[in-house]
Structure 1
Amino acid sequence: MADGADPGRRYRVLLTEASSASAREVLTVLGRRRHEVGVMDSGGLNFTALSRWVKRRHPSPRFSADPERYLDALYQVLTHSSYDILLPTHEQLIALSRHREEFSRLGVGLAVPGFEAVRTAQDKAAAVRLFAELGLPQPDTALVADESELLAQTGRLPAYVKLPVATSSRGVWRVADPAQLSGTAALPQVREVFARGGEVLVQRALPGPIVMAQALFDRGSLVGAHTVLRKREGVQGSASSKVSLDLPEVHRHLAELGGALDWHGPLSVDAVLDERHRTVHHIDVNPRLVEPVNAELAGTDLVQRWLALSCGAQLGPPPRARAGVRTHMLLMAVVRHAEVGRGRRAILTELARAAAGRGWYEGSQEELLPLRADPAGALLLGAISGCLLLSPRLWRRLAGSGAPAHALSPEGWRRLTEPRAY
C-alpha cells in the first residue's frame, strides 16, 4: 500500500470486531464519511447489528475464547479480501502487535505498537511501575504477591482490587472493609494469579469523577488526543453521559507515556479528576481507542487521523478540541437502571427524557446509536428496552458475566505470550 493517506478518498476498512461500543462508534465515524466498512463478526448480540454502514460481515471465532483461531480467521480474510486498512477496535490490537510482522506483509494499512510496549500497557502491575518511574500521578497503590499481603492492606481501604490482566470492568472489585477484602482474597481468580506467581493491585479509591483520555501516537510522538469527563455512569462502569474537556496536563502525561513506550497507534487512559485543583490521578491504561465519537464532534477526529497513520502519513501536532461538547449513550443509561435495581419506572422515565431532550439529554448528542443517521439502531434500543421493561433482571443475561467476545481473557493473554509462528 502506498505511503500517505488522501483525506478525500473513501477507504475499504476492516474492523477487527463487531460487538464493542468502541467498534460501533468507529463505524459511525467511518460511515458518516462514506468509507466502505467490513467487520469481523463472532455472532450474538452486538452494537453494529443491522447497521446500514456495514458492507460485509466476516464470520469469526470469538476472540476471547481463542485468540489464535481468531488470528487465523482474520489472516484468511485479509488474504482473500481487498481491504486498504485494518483498524483494531478492541484488544485485537494486542494480538496483532504480537504478530505485526506477519500481518504487515499482507500490504494492509495497520498501526500497532511493538509487543514489549503492549506487555507493559496490558499488565496493570507493569503499568503501575512505569507510571511511578515517569512520575505520573496515580493513587496510592500496592502490588501484592500472596493472600497474606492482600489481607494486610486494610490501611488502604476503601480501595479497588485489580487483577493484573482484566478488561471491561471485569477483574476489578471495590472493597470497603476488611470483610470484603477477605472475600475478595478468596476468589478463585485472585488465588489463580497468586498461584502463577503474579501480582494483584490494591489501589486506594479517590473521590472525584472519571476522566477518559484517548490518544494516537506515531512511533512515540503524540499526534492525536482528546479528553472527556464521565458525567454519568452507565452499565458495568461505562459512561452514559460525557462532556469534552480541555486538560493540557493530561495531554502532557499522554505524551510522556507514549514516548516512554515508543507507542505506535491508539492508546487510552482513565483517571480520577480532582475538580478543585484540576489535577488527575491515573487509574488505568488501555491499548486501544475508546469510543471516539465525542472527539469527532468536538473537532478532533481521531478516527480520520488513525486512518492516515495506518497508511503511513506524516501527521502534525494534535488539533485542539472544543470543550463543553456533550454526548450520551441512552442504551447504557437504560441498562444501568436495571443493573442497580431502579426498576421499570426509572427506565420509562429515562426513555421519555431522551425523547424530549430534557435533563442529561438537553444539548447532547447520541454517540452510540445515532438513530437519525443509522435508523437500525432503534431496533436494538427498542428490543433491549422492551426486554428490561418486561423483566429488569434480564440485564445480567444481556450484559453477560464472562469476558465479552471482543475482549482478551487472562487465558488468552497467556496464549499470546507463548511463541507461535504462522
Structure 2
Amino acid sequence: MMTGRPNFRPLRILLSEGTSTSAREAVTVLGLAGHVVDVCDPATAGLARFSRFARSYHRCPGMRDDPGGFLRFIEGLLAERRYDVLLPIHEQGFLFAKVQARLAARTGLALPSFENYRTAHSKAGFSRMLSQLGLPQPETWIVSSADALRDAVRYPCVIKTAIGTAGRGVWMVRDDADLAATTVELESGNGFAGEVLVQALVAGATEKAQGVFCHGELIGFHAYRQIMEGAGGGDAIKRSARRDRVRDDLAAIGRHLAWHGALSIDFIMPHDGSGPLYVDCNPRLVEPMAAYLAGVDLVDPLLRVSLGETPEVAPATREGVITHQAMQALLGGAQRGGARRDLLRICRDIWCQRGDYGGSTEELTPVHMDWISSIPLVMTALLLLVSPRLSHVLVKRGWGAHLLDARTVAVIESETF
C-alpha cells in the first residue's frame, strides 16, 4: 500500500465525479491510505460528499450536457490547486483520454490512447475485439435498425445500446411484447442512431473482474461473484473468487489495447461449467473497496501508474471474502416489489449481520469508520419505507449529468473538440 513507501507523503487527488458507487468507494480507499481527496460533481449531494475523507466537494458543469464546460472546470482546478493525480473514476475517462496530452502536462493521469479507450467503452467495439482475440462471449448480433433488430432476435435475449452504463440501455427480452416495448424505447430515445447489440441470454452466475495495467501489462487483479443483485443490475452482495482463466484473458485484452490504467469486465459463468462468457467492459476501476477488503488495494498501483512509476505485480486477493452494499440491497429489494416489511427485514439482517449478510462487510457506506456515510444510507431507507416505489426515482438519480450519452460521445469524438 502507498503508506508503506519510503518517505511517504500524502498525495493530492482530484476525483472526476462523486455520485457513483465507484467514486464513493475510491474516496474510502484513498482516505484510509492517508491521501488528500477532492471531488468534483454536478450534483448537490453526491455520495462522495458524505465522507470525512473528502476534503473539498466542487460543484461543476455536467459532462453530459456541457463537456467543454466540465473540461474547463477541471483544468481550472488543476491550475489552481496543483493536484498530484487526476483519477477518472467513471466515464469521464472518455473525455480525458481525448485530451490527455493537455491534462498530463498538469497532473498525473493513467489512460490508454483515445482510440483504444473508445474500443473498450463501446459495447459493440468490445464485442468485435473479443471476436478478434478469439475470446468467448454469448452469441451476439450487432444491428442498426428496427428491422434488423427484429430479424436478429432469438428469445430469450438481451438487447443493449452500444453506449450505456449503470443499467442504462439494457433490456431483457423474452417474447414479442418485450421486443415491441424495447423497440419503442430505442426509437424514442434515438437508440438506433448508433449500434445495438443482441446477445443470447445465458443461464449462469454473474461475475466481474477488475485490473490495473501499466503500459499493457497487468499488475493488479481482483474477481468476484454477484451473490445478490441490487438496483440496475448492480451488486448488493458479492464474494471474491479465484479466476485464473479470466486473469489471463483480461491480461490478453490489456496487451491488445496497450492499456494504461484501470479496466474492468463483466462475464457469465454458465451453469453447465463451460467457462466464462464476456458480456461487458468498463474502462475504469469499479467499486475498489471489495478488493481492498479481500487484501489488495488496487487504487495504490493505479496512483503509482498515474505518477509514471512501474509498480510490482500485486498479490492475489483472498477467496471467499463477502461484502455488501446496504443501499443497493434496499433499492434492489424495493425494485423487486418488496413491501415495507421486506425492507425492514433487510435492515434488520444487515444490522444484525444475519441471513444473507452473515459474515459480510459493508463496502459502500462504512459507518463504523466514516459516520457521515450513514446520512445517504439512512435517507434512502426512510424514503423507501415511506414508499418502496420511490426506488425507481432514486436509481434514476444515479444516471445524472456526470455520465455520458450518445450526443455527448459524438461531441467529444468530433474533430473540433
TM-score bracket, normalised by the shorter chain, equals over 0.9
* Matching residue's letter, 1:395: S
Query: Does the alignment pair 1:94 with 2:94?
Result: yes
Which residue of structure 2 lines up, in the alignment, with residue 204 of structure 1?
200
Distance 2:124 2:136 in 1: 15
* Matching residue's letter, 1:159: C
* Matching residue's letter, 2:303: L
Query: Does the alignment pair 1:320 with 2:316?
Result: yes
**1:184 CA drift (Å):** 1.7
SS at match of 1:279: coil
Task: List aligned pairs for 1:1-400, cutoff 5 A.
Answer: 8-106=8-106, 108-154=107-153, 156-189=154-187, 192-194=190-192, 196=193, 198-277=194-273, 279-400=275-396
Q: Is the 8 A contact 1:234 1:240 kept in 2?
A: yes
**1:394 CA drift (Å):** 1.6
Q: Pick the aligned partner of 1:413 from 406, 409, 412.
A: 409
Distance 1:41 1:401 in 2: 13
Q: Is the 8 A contact 1:158 1:205 kept in 2?
A: yes
SS at match of 2:204: coil
The unaligned stretches of length 5 or more in structure 2 are none
More moved, 403-412 vs 11-20: 403-412
Q: Is the 8 A contact 1:214 1:227 kept in 2?
A: yes
**1:187 CA drift (Å):** 2.5
More moved, 39-48 vs 23-32: 39-48
Q: Is the 8 A contact 1:58 1:77 kept in 2?
A: no
SS at match of 1:90: coil
Distance 1:317 1:413 in 2: 34
Distance 2:345 2:35 in 1: 37
**1:276 CA drift (Å):** 4.9
Q: Is the 8 A contact 1:185 1:191 kept in 2?
A: no
More moved, 298-307 vs 324-333: 298-307
* Matching residue's letter, 2:291: A
Distance 1:299 1:190 in 2: 46
Q: Is the 8 A contact 1:403 1:409 kept in 2?
A: no
**1:320 CA drift (Å):** 1.0
> 1:31-71: CA deviations, max 9, x gaps?
11121110012123421123111111222011222222111
**1:160 CA drift (Å):** 0.7
Q: Is the 8 A contact 2:86 2:108 kept in 1?
A: yes
In 2 relative to 1, CA 402–23 (structure 1 residues): closer, same or farther, beyond 3 Å?
A: closer
> 1:285-339: CA deviations, max 9, x gaps?
0111100111111122101111111111112234211101110001110111221
Count matched residues. Answer: 413
The unaligned stretches of length 5 or more in structure 1 are none
Distance 1:280 1:7 in 2: 43
More moved, 308-317 vs 396-405: 396-405
Distance 1:97 1:254 in 2: 20
Distance 1:39 1:401 in 2: 18
SS at match of 1:187: helix
> 1:334-387: CA deviations, max 9, x gaps?
111221221101110000011111012211110000001100111211111111
Distance 1:385 1:220 in 2: 43
More moved, 18-27 vs 357-366: 357-366
**1:205 CA drift (Å):** 0.7
Distance 2:358 2:133 in 1: 41
Q: Is the 8 A contact 1:240 1:333 kept in 2?
A: yes
* Matching residue's letter, 2:394: L
